[in-house]
Structure 1
Amino acid sequence: MAAAAAGVTCHLCREHQMEMECCRGGLLPRGSTTALPDAAGGEAEEEEEDRLSALPDDILLRILAALRCARAAAHTSVLARRWRGLWARLPVLTFHRVAPAPLHAALATVAAAGGAAPALLDIDLFSHHDLDPASLLAAAAAVAPGELVVNASWSARSTELPCFDRTASIKIDVHFAGFTLPPAGVFPALETLHLENCFVDLGDMIPRCPRLRKFSIPFWNATAVTVRSPSLEEMEVYANFKITIDIVAPALKRLYLDARRGINTDAGGFRLSAPSVEDLTWNCECQAVSDSFGVRWRMWSLSFSSSCLDPHGIMQMQQMDNNGEAETAHSLSLSSSSQRRPRGGVLSLNLETNVMTGDSTRSFEQEVFRFQVTDNFSVLELDLKAQGHVYGAIVLHLLGICTSTQRLRVLLDEFLSQDSCFVSCRCDQPNNWRNQSISLTDLKEVAIRGFRGQNHEVDLLKVLLRCATVLERVTVRFSRKVTPSDCRCRELSGILEAYPSVKCSVYYLQSGKQVFICRQQ
């Protein structure tokens, strides 16, 4: 599997270099014995006057920089002795698809060249090479670049990540790698850290970065996110596993958290203190199921986003236990300046019927508020896979939970084959939701996409029109399964005309364009 690590060239790497614009221009013809980083030979005297080599070093470096590839720049050594070693002083060093042995030699040459450290060291290694990742990272640390980018794959599960004394930005994408840190040492200049497809003990790493401002961990392959930083301002987490959270970041302004496998709240597994956060996005898997609406509904996921939090002091985000009591040991404190203008957040819920798995001990209300800032969202977005079942009761139930909703968006599955479930289905039991009086004093807009005009759908719209006393706009997009001549279209138009104060738009899509059935402005 492995290519000859000691070889100067590798046919697989060369093939990939030929596909890369930055490397293609610097490849020598096959059969050339020129090695990276130095060229053997070159002793023959030039037959003609070399005016190009007479240019100052800074001009020559600009020419080499235009190649955008350290390998291509090193190959200019064949032109004249004057060019030798210049490439090692480039401000941007890019090594793509280079075998390990010549790469190590190149990094050693750069480290020994002296002068200013490169602003960027970009390393992209092919996965078929045998590689000593620890020695590679040590060689990169010796170069001390202002910014380090490493994209590779190696099988070592425990690789020491050296401390970079002068590097301000580190981006490492190394599949399946686990990093350890030396017993002592810090990253004194590090401001931006991006760790992808790998893992390290963040409880040990982050305190060693006193100037860290931006931190992102896409495809995080560990079960814990422990971050305590007084300087951190932006943070992004995309977790591959169910995680515990322990984040204390008083200066944090932007947080993006995607816990696609859920959050483990057992034994104190949740703590988040971010009193300065302004921009919050929160995605989390849910387990709650309910049989209270005739058929079983499961809440699959919950997403919340807000660009500015409520301006009224401190807001508590608490985990709710199974009895609906707040567990004060697990809470998130978020505050925002009273000078800020409040912007309502968006709460998105994904629900589906006919799902057997889930946690019946937690209600939908507990799931919604388990990790949410209470009354901080003005938009409720429901993505419903109803499988043809009646969904009016669950929509009204969720509106009753989210009492501050100003805009309701209901997204229905337009590609469902059947219009309705079987005749004796219990999905409409109990059916007293049609006569329900629910307080919707804040609801101003309703939008439904994938509407089929079934009787229960029309009944839901009637309840919303009746209870939402300040309703301003209703937008309905019919499903692709409904034709414009369908009597259900005319029926809906007649219902909406009874509310002249409400602006209405009822339409369907034809060749990607909106065709209006009813438009009341």
Structure 2
Amino acid sequence: MELRLGPRRRSPRLLALVGDGADLISTLPEDLLLLVLARLGCAAAAARTGVLSRRWRGLWARLRRVVFNDVALHSLEAALGCIPPPPPAVSLLRIRLPMPRGRVPKKQLVDTNRVNSLLRAAARLDPEEFFLAFPWDLFQAHGLRLLLDLPCFHRATSIEVELDLCCTIRCVPAGGEFSALERLSLCSCTADLDALLSCCPLLRTLRLTDVRFHDDVMSVNSPLLQELIVVHGRFVDHVNIVAPMLTQLTMFFEIFHTHSISILAPMMEKFSWGCYLYGNQATFGVWILRKLSLNTAEGQGQLSSLHVNASPSTNFYGETDNLEQQIVKHMIVDFSVLELHLTTKEHVYGAFVVHLLGINRIHCVMQRLKVNLQRPEENEEGCLPHCRCDSPNWKSQTISLTSLEEVEITGFDGEDHEFDLLKLILRCAPILKRIILKLSQEASESNDRCAKIYNILRVHSSVECSIYLSSGLIHGSQNCTLT
């Protein structure tokens, strides 16, 4: 075999492809080159194309959609300084800092002065859309706390900021105004919301995710606001919303202390409300309110609903029964369905349910009642002798359930106190049309309990009854005849 060393000859076909070595890409029109750079999706990557040709150097700074992904903080301000201020206008400025890996050099550490300087450099470009995101690991790893002075972005119609709860958006410049801002999104930070919104006269959409509020007060006063979304609001003691044009409200938050709720939104059409209560804020006997939610109907034929989640505490007996007072605070829209999710722990729940049904703003409007019973594992401590969960008085009460048309109980066990509650509902609901009983496994396997259900329901021949064993439907008829 003969081995030859020397220049390799190129085939005619390859020579035709590479041409005569001229830089054909750089001869393209500038608008087309900018389009190529924009397709890279990152300003840092676009800047690196400057090594290809002098024609490409600095061209990235003329992009109208500027995206910095995983660019270190110490390099960002210098990069923003390369972009000429408008005109022409920057339509989008998006900045996401990189996730820290190992020990971060001192020059790359995030601090208040550096971030505020970066924000001022970003505001100088006056983008129409601005997005800033910090990785939460950066704060946890280095114990950082930031006080951010958000400058005014006069042309911005949309601003999104993702930080960490140790970051506080402190203020905006005195007399400053986000004169074009229509959409504001804050994630994982602490904010003086009232002061911030006073600078946003045209705001239409406000989204707050994992936000802690100044003095634990969520105050929203916005004349043109149409959509308000609060996800995992932290430590909210007081809610005050004044939004005359608001049509959609979605709010899920936590309460640790005594709270007040005030909402003025006469145009509201869609409503989703969820509140997690910690401690013993809302109690009735041994029962403690854990979660409350309120939702407007989502589709045609559906009804708005109030959901109550409660469970008994084996080591707490409420000195003051304040359940009604706490629940009524959340009844800020009308509803037709009351849905109870009760973790019973073998406690008698009839007195608790009757107390809820006795609340005037519930029994006057309730058309459907759903009770979902959940029983924990057998090794958990259950009801003790002489427990306050039961009393003879509730069984003889009369409640005017004049609007109630349907009752559904899931997990019906067939205990005597459960039959007492069923009898009370049948006695107090004159227009009741249907009862659905979904039996627990224990009740499903007991002929005596099934027979007792039949004996009670057959007296009310006008009520349609559907009875389900744990394995499926065993009966559904007008005359309550078991098969």
TM-score normalized with structure 2 length: 0.79
State the AA in 2 paired with 1:397. H
Match of 2:198, SS state, is helix
Is 1:157 the equivalent of 2:150? no
Is 1:446 the equivalent of 2:407? yes
Matches within 5 A, 1:96-175: 96-111=69-84, 115-127=88-100, 129-131=108-110, 132-152=114-134, 153=136, 155-175=144-164
Give the structure 2 partner of residue 392 of structure 1.
350
1:297-326 Cα distance to aligned partner (Å, 9 max, x none): 222333223359xxxxxxxxxxxxxxxxxx
Is 1:235 the equivalent of 2:258? no
Match of 1:208, SS state, is coil
1:387 Cα deviation after fit: 0.9
Cα distance in 1, alignment partners of residues 287 and 411 from structure 2: 19
Q: 292, 307, 324: which one pairs with 1:302?
A: 292
Q: RMSD between aligned alpha carbons?
A: 3.3
Give the structure 1 partner of residue 265 of structure 2.
274
Give the structure 2 partner of residue 516 of structure 1.
473
Is 1:225 the equivalent of 2:184? no
1:62-102 Cα distance to aligned partner (Å, 9 max, x none): 33333323233333333333333333333433322211233
1:353-380 Cα distance to aligned partner (Å, 9 max, x none): 1254586445222222234248x22111
Residue 264 to residue 486, structure 1, CA distance change in 2 (3 Å):
closer
Is 1:383 the equivalent of 2:341? yes
1:451-480 Cα distance to aligned partner (Å, 9 max, x none): 32323223322332333222223233334x
Give the structure 2 partner of residue 202 of structure 1.
193
Q: Is the contact made by 1:216 and 1:235 (CA closer than 8 Å) also made in structure 2?
A: yes
Q: 4, 15, 22: which one pairs with 1:49?
A: 22
Is 1:179 the equivalent of 2:169? yes
State the AA in 2 paired with 1:174. L
Match of 2:358, SS state, is helix
State the AA in 2 paired with 1:72. A
Give the structure 2 partner of residue 465 of structure 1.
426
Match of 1:463, SS state, is helix
1:162 Cα deviation after fit: 0.8
Q: 4, 25, 32: which one pairs with 1:59?
A: 32
Match of 2:408, SS state, is strand
Residue 381 to residue 440, structure 1, CA distance change in 2 (3 Å):
same
Cα distance in 2, alignment partners of residues 187 and 148 from structure 1: 12
Matches within 5 A, 1:318-337: none
State the AA in 2 paired with 1:244. H
Give the structure 2 partner of residue 260 of structure 1.
254
> How high is the sequence identity, in percent, across the aligned residues?
36
Residue 504 to residue 418, structure 1, CA distance change in 2 (3 Å):
farther
Give the structure 2 partner of residue 410 of structure 1.
371
Give the structure 1 partner of residue 311 of structure 2.
352
Residue 416 to residue 111, structure 1, CA distance change in 2 (3 Å):
farther
Q: Is the contact made by 1:493 and 1:518 (CA closer than 8 Å) also made in structure 2?
A: no
Give the structure 2 partner of residue 193 of structure 1.
184
Is 1:455 the equivalent of 2:412? no
Residue 159 to residue 60, structure 1, CA distance change in 2 (3 Å):
same
Residue 276 to residue 428, structure 1, CA distance change in 2 (3 Å):
closer
Q: Is the contact made by 1:221 and 1:239 (CA closer than 8 Å) also made in structure 2?
A: yes
Residue 418 to residue 391, structure 1, CA distance change in 2 (3 Å):
farther
Q: Is the contact made by 2:89 and 2:127 (CA closer than 8 Å) also made in structure 1?
A: no
Cα distance in 1, alignment partners of residues 358 and 132 from structure 2: 50
Cα distance in 1, alignment partners of residues 21 and 191 from structure 2: 57
Match of 1:221, SS state, is strand
1:304-354 Cα distance to aligned partner (Å, 9 max, x none): 23359xxxxxxxxxxxxxxxxxxxxxxxxxxxxxxxx99853222222112
Give the structure 1 partner of residue 65 of structure 2.
92
Q: Is the contact made by 1:89 and 1:118 (CA closer than 8 Å) also made in structure 2?
A: no
Q: Is the contact made by 1:297 and 1:355 (CA closer than 8 Å) also made in structure 2?
A: no
Give the structure 2 partner of residue 37 of structure 1.
none
Give the structure 2 partner of residue 7 of structure 1.
none
Residue 454 to residue 124, structure 1, CA distance change in 2 (3 Å):
farther
1:282 Cα deviation after fit: 3.3
Residue 217 to residue 298, structure 1, CA distance change in 2 (3 Å):
same
Gaps of 5+ in 2: 1-18, 479-483
Q: Is the contact made by 2:346 and 2:375 (CA closer than 8 Å) also made in structure 1?
A: no
Q: Is the contact made by 2:368 and 2:404 (CA closer than 8 Å) also made in structure 1?
A: yes
Question: How many residues are paired up?
Answer: 432
Match of 2:209, SS state, is strand
Cα distance in 2, alignment partners of residues 76 and 506 from structure 1: 72
Residue 142 to residue 48, structure 1, CA distance change in 2 (3 Å):
same
Is 1:372 the equivalent of 2:331? yes
Residue 392 to residue 483, structure 1, CA distance change in 2 (3 Å):
closer
Residue 65 to residue 503, structure 1, CA distance change in 2 (3 Å):
farther
1:188 Cα deviation after fit: 0.7
1:60 Cα deviation after fit: 3.2
State the AA in 1 paired with 2:153. F
Cα distance in 1, alignment partners of residues 274 and 197 from structure 2: 23
Cα distance in 1, alignment partners of residues 176 and 22 from structure 2: 52
Matches within 5 A, 1:492-511: 492=453, 495-496=456-457, 499-507=460-468
| Greater alpha carbon shift after TM alignment, 135-144 vs 90-99 | 90-99
Residue 50 to residue 106, structure 1, CA distance change in 2 (3 Å):
same
Higher relative contact order (CA 8 A, sep 6+): 1
Bigger radius of gyration = 2
Match of 1:195, SS state, is strand
Residue 93 to residue 300, structure 1, CA distance change in 2 (3 Å):
same
Cα distance in 2, alignment partners of residues 407 and 399 from structure 1: 12
TM-score normalized with structure 1 length: 0.73
1:248 Cα deviation after fit: 2.5
Give the structure 2 partner of residue 311 of structure 1.
none
1:271 Cα deviation after fit: 4.5
1:415-464 Cα distance to aligned partner (Å, 9 max, x none): 44279956844356423434443322211121222332323223322332
1:252 Cα deviation after fit: 2.1
Cα distance in 1, alignment partners of residues 469 and 38 from structure 2: 55
1:177 Cα deviation after fit: 0.6
Is 1:486 the equivalent of 2:443? no
Match of 1:110, SS state, is coil
Cα distance in 1, alignment partners of residues 457 and 77 from structure 2: 73
Cα distance in 2, alignment partners of residues 379 and 158 from structure 1: 45
